[in-house]
A and B are shown apart, each in its own frame.
Chain A
């Protein structure tokens, strides 16, 4: 439900002219709800940025999200997988 909620808020932000990236923990929900620009992360529910206290890992996820903002080739719905090791 959290995945849907942030996706619906993201859509309203985009409608009002604000670019968004929504992190998503369930691919099947992201594919059905279709947030405009989304980063799918392979983590458990409750752990959207990976590991508590691990700033490096949290930064890796946020950086992947920031790159989606910068990627001018993306089109909606953009659902991109987080690659943990940058491969």
Chain B
């Protein structure tokens, strides 16, 4: 235990599997990751200052009145929520139930994984053209990714394609 504690401490700032419990590490070692093949690629077609951006976060945030993500769904809740671009980030509710990471930072500052205040500032400084009227929120602890790949990821992409966004920034936790 002391050895594990020392290992975690020595790497506390790294996103490394050593931060996880032994059972989580064993699960991750055996897990068959979904390999993206072929890899789709769309180049940016115009200057960022002319572009409309949407955020996609997997931190499990929901807005006031929205249903929380459902931890009881076997294989993970692959649904998503739209978050209005004028949302007050301090009103977002984090419903990610994973015990594999420290939630303290997200509670202190939701911008850590849903940086709506930061991208607003980038529009003000004209680094970005504009923000989409909505952003998307998932809860990322999805072990059975088939339904995400077949259903909700294409649906989410259709939402944003219909909004004519120019780029998306995706933030996991």
Contacts and interface: CB of A to CB of B under 8 A. Distances in A.
B112 to A, nearest CB: 5
Which secondary structure dominates chain B's binding surface? Answer: loop
A48 B109 CA distance: 12
A4 B122 CA distance: 27
B35 A34 contact: yes
A26 B16 CA distance: 6
Interface in A1-52: 1-29, 32-37, 41-52
Interface residues of A, number: 61
B147 to A, nearest CB: 11
B39 A6 contact: no
A45 B121 contact: no
Contacts of B58: 2, 5-6
A11 B35 contact: no
B113 A18 contact: no
A42 to B, nearest CB: 5
A33 B140 contact: no
A77 B65 CA distance: 38
Nearest to A2: B140
Interface of A: 1-29, 32-37, 41-53, 55, 58-59, 62-63, 65-66, 69-70, 72, 75-77
Interface of B: 12-17, 19, 33-37, 39-44, 48, 56, 58-59, 76, 78, 98, 100-106, 108-109, 111-113, 115, 117-119, 121-122, 127-128, 136, 138, 140-143, 145, 148-149, 153-154, 156-158, 160-161, 165-173
